[in-house]
């Protein structure tokens, strides 16, 4: 325990965010840099608990019970940060997490939700320390390519280059296998590249890590869709094992009248096109859905919806509204949401903060259901018709929405973005491999085994478990790599 009284004497502090008026004119990170000595002081708040709930999570209880799915040894590297032993900290961090520069930025920090200090005080700023450790390590030149000293002669194909695919590839490469990663987009990274906006995760950080992995010997193949550009039969012939990390990319649709109108888009189409145009030409090519001067209605209250709000504001939209069918969370944990469960409480993320600054109020409207989308008579969206709802139990005990009489509203809309989550993986490739699926359409493969119904074919990440967090994707990629290594070699030294 670095500082026995740190949790008493030091208050939780996070880096200052840039003013919305400044950050809305660029696509750079929201937070400013925090002085190193202040970060070390924050690390002193860690109590080095006898049972550190922060550093472990089980798939059986996820996502109800919080904790770190990749099993970061958090108290240990908190103490190292407090003592200024940053190089030791990054070496320890990399033992459990291949990509802390990603998780330190976009992970919702279930570790902090399980922090023991959070029972009666503000939790330790674990996510800040993770980000600070890896950023400091890159700045000092400590993160370098470490290719394996020997090769096994085995070849593995990884399909999909999101966090699960990259983690699996990185671990399999460490074991000495030759790894080829196939990505159908023009850049490597999956949702890290195109699903998460630049202000949350700068794309040069993604490319920096990809370059290191390539230097370590991983082969990346872009603009190539397995099942179309490369056949499944060829893949099975050329490789000793195949790992499917194809994500859960089928969006949940909105079955209402007017869904087909121009201006109604899935959120991920909006976000992907924006980032690609930004990277290709700084938006000069016009190949994106421009919200400039438009009334934007986002249907969905999660992180993706927030990203749509933040992106629209950077386009200088006229207005931005976010509709959520669920009730507004309480400001503090409820009695039915005890520690170490994931704290269900009201958070104001960067997008909402920006909307409050620009529009004068939180863009979120709770307990609202979309009834229909109105046309302008020329095939374009004109408005969204909504009604307030309450949640009530039916005769079977199920919670169902009930409309509130007289609560109908009409919201002006030029762009409607559907951000209602994802249903599961796309089916074409699964069918071509002839794989079994579970009752949610995910690839059937037991957690911690990851073997599919076809020998030599494995699955990890959202395509196996359903839509989830980046830390669960990295966890699954790492665990899957161990199973693939055992399949190829009879045993594995991978963690």
Based on the fold, state whether residues 74 and 129 are members of the same structural domain.
yes
The CATH number assigned to the domain holding 272 equals 3.50.50.60
Q: Which residues contact 91 (CB under 8 A, 6 or more apart)?
A: none
The C-alpha atoms of residue 484 and residue 490 are separated, in whole angstroms, by: 10
To the nearest 5 percent, what fractions of the chain are helix, strand and coil?
A: 35, 20, 50
Residues 59-81 have a mean pLDDT of: 89
- 380 in a domain, yes or no? yes
User: How many structural domains are present in the chain?
Assistant: 3
User: Each residue of 142-177: b (16+ CB within 10 Å) or e?
Assistant: ebeeeeeeeebebbbbbbbbbbbbbbbbbbbbbbbb
- 146 in a domain, yes or no? no
pLDDT digits (tens, 9 = 90+) for 118-162: 999 999 999 999 999 999 999 999 999 999 999 999 999 999 999
pLDDT for res 222: 98
Contact 488, 177 (CB under 8 A): yes
The Cα-based distances of 67 to 60, 72, 176, 270, 444 in angstroms read 12, 10, 31, 32, 25
First to last CA, the chain: 26
**Mean pLDDT across the chain, nearest whole number?**
96
- 192 in a domain, yes or no? yes
Based on the fold, state whether residues 305 and 398 are members of the same structural domain.
yes
Based on the fold, state whether residues 453 and 390 are members of the same structural domain.
no
- 148 in a domain, yes or no? no
Residue 61 clears pLDDT 80, i.e. is over it: no
- Please give the sequence-ordered ranges of beta strands (E in DSSP) within 194-240, or none if there are none: 219-221
Based on the fold, state whether residues 283 and 362 are members of the same structural domain.
yes
The C-alpha atoms of residue 455 and residue 434 are separated, in whole angstroms, by: 11
pLDDT digits (tens, 9 = 90+) for 132-142: 999 999 999 99
Q: How many residues are given for the chain?
A: 495
Q: Which residues contact 351 (CB under 8 A, 6 or more apart)?
A: 306, 307, 308, 309, 310, 313, 363
Residue 84 clears pLDDT 80, i.e. is over it: yes
Based on the fold, state whether residues 266 and 339 are members of the same structural domain.
yes
pLDDT digits (tens, 9 = 90+) for 352-392: 999 999 999 999 999 999 999 999 999 999 999 999 999 99
Residues 319-326 have a mean pLDDT of: 97
pLDDT band of residue 452 (cuts 50, 70, 90) is very high
pLDDT for res 333: 87
pLDDT band of residue 21 (cuts 50, 70, 90) is confident
pLDDT for res 341: 87
Domain ends where: 372, 388, 420?
420
Calculate what percentage of the chain has a pLDDT beyond 70. 100
Based on the fold, state whether residues 201 and 216 are members of the same structural domain.
yes
pLDDT digits (tens, 9 = 90+) for 407-448: 999 999 999 999 999 999 998 999 999 999 999 999 999 999
pLDDT digits (tens, 9 = 90+) for 235-283: 999 999 999 999 999 999 999 999 999 999 999 999 999 999 999 999 9
> Could you list the residue range(s) of the whole structural domain that residue 302 is in?
253-420
Tokens representing residue 235 in the block: 């893949």
């Amino acid at each position: 325990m670095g500082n026995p009284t740190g949790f008493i004497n030091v208050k939780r502090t996070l880096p200052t965010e840039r003013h919305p008026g400044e950050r809305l004119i660029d696509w750079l990170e929201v937070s400013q840099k925090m002085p190193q000595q202040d970060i070390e002081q924050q690390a002193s708040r860690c109590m080095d608990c006898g049972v550190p709930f922060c550093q472990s999570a089980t798939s059986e209880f996820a996502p109800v019970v919080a904790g770190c799915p990749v099993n970061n040894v958090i108290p240990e590297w908190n103490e190292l940060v407090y003592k200024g032993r940053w190089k030791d900290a990054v070496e320890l961090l990399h033992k459990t997490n291949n990509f802390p520069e990603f998780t330190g930025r976009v992970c919702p920090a279930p570790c902090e939700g399980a922090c023991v200090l959070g029972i009666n005080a503000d939790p330790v700023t674990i996510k800040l320390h993770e980000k600070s450790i890896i950023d400091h390590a890159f700045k000092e030149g400590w993160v370098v390519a470490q290719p394996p000293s020997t090769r096994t002669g085995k070849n593995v194909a990884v399909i999909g280059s999101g966090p699960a695919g990259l983690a699996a590839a990185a671990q399999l490469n460490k074991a000495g296998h030759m790894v080829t990663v196939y990505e159908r987009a023009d850049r490597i990274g999956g949702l890290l590249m195109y699903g998460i906006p630049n202000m949350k995760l700068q794309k040069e950080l993604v490319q920096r890590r990809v370059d290191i992995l390539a230097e370590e010997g991983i082969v990346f193949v872009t603009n190539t869709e397995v099942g179309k550009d490369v056949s499944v039969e060829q893949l099975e012939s050329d490789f000793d094992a195949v790992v499917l990390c194809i994500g859960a990319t089928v969006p949940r649709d909105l079955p209402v009248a007017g869904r087909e109108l121009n201006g109604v888009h899935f959120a991920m189409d909006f976000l992907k096109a924006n980032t690609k145009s930004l990277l290709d030409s700084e938006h000069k090519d016009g190949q994106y859905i421009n919200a400039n001067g438009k009334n934007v209605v986002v249907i969905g209250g999660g992180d993706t919806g927030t990203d749509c709000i933040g992106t629209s504001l950077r386009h200088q939209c006229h207005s931005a509204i976010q509709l959520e069918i669920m009730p507004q969370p309480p400001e503090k944990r409820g009695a039915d949401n005890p520690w170490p469960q994931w704290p269900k409480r009201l958070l104001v993320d960067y997008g909402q903060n920006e909307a409050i600054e620009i529009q004068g109020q939180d863009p979120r409207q709770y307990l609202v259901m979309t009834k229909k989308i109105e046309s302008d008579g020329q095939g374009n969206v004109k408005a969204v018709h909504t009604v307030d709802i309450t949640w009530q139990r039916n005769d079977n005990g199920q919670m169902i929405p009930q409309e509130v009489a007289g609560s109908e509203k009409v919201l002006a809309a030029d762009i409607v973005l559907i951000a209602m989550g994802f249903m599961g993986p796309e089916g074409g490739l699964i069918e071509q491999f002839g794989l079994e699926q579970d009752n949610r359409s995910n690839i059937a493969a037991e957690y911690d085994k990851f073997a599919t119904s076809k020998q030599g074919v494995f699955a990890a990440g959202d395509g196996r478990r359903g839509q989830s967090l980046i830390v669960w994707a990295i966890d699954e990629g790492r665990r899957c790599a161990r199973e693939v290594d055992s399949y190829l070699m009879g045993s594995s030294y991978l963690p």
